[in-house]
């Protein structure tokens, strides 16, 4: 049955798709069972060879961008067309059981506005993934959301209530880090879900356009500048004043430096601690000479 006949679907599922997607039929058979009133929106670059099949046989709304967009831009485009009370964002490569995906929808229905996945430990030895993890944790720390850990809109799946999507704005989803700032400063009710541990990673497909680690850093730098530079909605405890000079540093690697700096300050170490110790030793020598 065509999912677009409902005036207000209960759930909207947003899926960016590449032209060589091999998992789409299997994925749709799962997401269609999330709720009886589920609409599915697929976003692809240009025209997809699967468009007719998805639209006619599965009742999917297929949006062809005609432009080279990354997955987050595709999700933003899809969310602008979403009509559901719950909006679930997933990936064409996901191989997750129905019950796991239902968790995101259930939490929204229970009153949560934002449900985000934390980082997976899979492949954590790669330098890029460790760096992204640090950026996610840093941003949540500055937001006063330590309990969110490594949760980020960069991680898939995530879900938003209709209220959250309208508050954040679909365009903001193009920058996951800025979206996280918006969700926090607007006081949206957020929680996390641990990543699904797949026994075998899906192969044969790629994200529409993959981000490199420097892009993730730039996005987080922009989000932190937005936070520390001031917004009308910002709460007082989210100022991040202590490290404002580092936030505006030109080198993207300063994101990790902030974490290291704060730990040294707490321990009394770092440059400040060394200067104090050096001053104390010098002062004692001066006193002994005077006597």
Alpha-carbon gap, residue 1 to 12, rounded angstroms: 15
Q: What residue ranges define each of the domains in the chain, with the CATH number in brackets?
A: 3-252 (3.90.550.10), 259-291 (no CATH)
Residue-wise pLDDT tens digits, 33-71: 999 999 999 998 765 566 767 777 788 898 888 777 888
**250-271 per-position pLDDT tens digit:** 333 333 333 333 333 344 444 4
- In angstroms, the CA 173 to CA 75 distance is 7
Residue 202 clears pLDDT 50, i.e. is over it: no
What pLDDT, on the 0 to 100 scale, is given for residue 13? 97
20 has a pLDDT exceeding 70: no
- Give the model's pLDDT for residue 126: 52
pLDDT of 210 higher than 80? no
**Average pLDDT score, the chain:** 75
Eight-state DSSP code of residue 85: S
Stronger pLDDT, 12 or 210, i.e. the higher one: 12
Report cis status (omega within 30 of 0) of the bond before 157: yes
| Assessment of whether the complete model's pTM goes beyond 0.75 | no
Question: Which helix (H) or strand (E) segment is 15 a member of?
Answer: strand 11-17
For the stretch 44-54, pLDDT in tens is: 876 556 676 77
List b or e across 190-206, with b for residues whose CB sees 16 or more CB atoms inside 10 angstroms: bebbebeeeeeebeebe
Q: What is the pLDDT of residue 59?
A: 86
User: At residue 249, does pLDDT exceed 60?
Assistant: no
The per-residue pLDDT for 37 is: 93
Handedness of CA 268, 272, 276, 281 (dihedral sign): positive
Least confident of 169-173, 276-280, 283-287: 276-280
């Amino acid at each position: 049955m065509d999912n677009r006949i409902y005036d207000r679907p209960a759930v909207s599922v947003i899926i960016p798709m590449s032209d060589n997607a091999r998992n789409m039929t299997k994925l749709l058979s799962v997401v269609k069972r999330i709720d009886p009133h589920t609409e599915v929106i697929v976003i692809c670059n240009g025209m997809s060879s699967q468009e007719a099949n998805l639209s006619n046989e599965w009742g999917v709304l297929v949006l062809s961008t005609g432009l080279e967009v990354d997955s987050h831009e595709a999700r933003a485009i899809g969310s602008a067309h979403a009509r559901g009370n719950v909006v679930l964002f997933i990936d064409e490569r996901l191989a997750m059981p129905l019950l796991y995906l239902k968790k995101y929808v259930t939490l929204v229905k229970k009153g949560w506005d934002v449900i985000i996945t934390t980082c997976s430990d899979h492949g954590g030895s790669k330098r890029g993934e460790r760096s992204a993890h640090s950026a996610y944790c840093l941003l949540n720390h500055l937001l006063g959301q330590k309990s969110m850990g490594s949760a980020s809109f960069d991680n898939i799946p995530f879900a938003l209530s209709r209220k959250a999507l309208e508050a954040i704005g679909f365009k903001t989803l193009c920058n996951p880090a800025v979206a996280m700032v918006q969700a926090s400063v607007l006081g949206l009710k957020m929680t996390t879900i641990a990543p699904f541990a797949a026994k075998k990673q899906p192969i044969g497909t790629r994200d529409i356009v993959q981000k490199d680690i420097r892009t993730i850093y730039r996005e987080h730098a922009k989000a932190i500048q937005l936070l520390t530079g001031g917004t009308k909605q910002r709460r007082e405890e989210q100022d991040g004043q202590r490290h404002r000079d580092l936030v505006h540093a030109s080198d993207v690697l300063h994101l990790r430096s902030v974490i290291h700096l704060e730990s040294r300050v707490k321990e009394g170490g770092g440059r400040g601690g060394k200067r104090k110790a050096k001053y104390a030793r010098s002062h004692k020598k001066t006193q002994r000479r005077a006597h």
